[in-house]
Amino acid sequence: MKKISLISALLLLLVLGGCSSIRRAMKAGEVAKINNIKATIVTTQGDINFYLYPEAAPITVANFINLSKRGFYDNLKFHRVVDNFMAQGGDPLETGLGGPGYQIEDEFVEWLDFYQTGMLAMANAGPNTGGSQFFMTMYAADWLNQKHTVFGEVISDADLGVIRKLEIGDRIKEIRFEGDIDFFLALEKDRVDFWNETLDRNFPDLKKYPVKDITDPVFTETYTNYKDELVRIQEKKLKTAKPYDPKFIPAWIRYIDNKYTAAKKKEETPPSERLEERDEDNLSVIAASVTVTETEDITREDDKGTVTEDITTESAPVTEEKPEDSEAN
Active site residues: 80, 85, 88, 124, 135, 144, 148
| 228 neighbors 31 (Cβ within 8 angstroms) | no
3-state secondary structure at position 1: coil
d(CA 270, CA 266): 8
What is the rounded CA–CA span in Å between residue 241 and residue 244?
9
Q: Which amino acid is at 105?
A: E
Name the strands in the sheet holding 46-52, side by side, starting at the edge strand that comes first in the sequence: 78-82, 86-89, 134-137, 119-122, 150-154, 46-52, 38-43, 172-178
Please name the helix (run of DSSP H) or strand (run of DSSP E) that holds residue 196, with its range, or none. Answer: helix 189-202
Q: Is-contact 10 21, C-beta < 8 A? A: no
Alpha-carbon distance of 162 to 271, in angstroms, equals 52
**Distance between CA atoms of residues 17 and 257, nearest Å:** 31
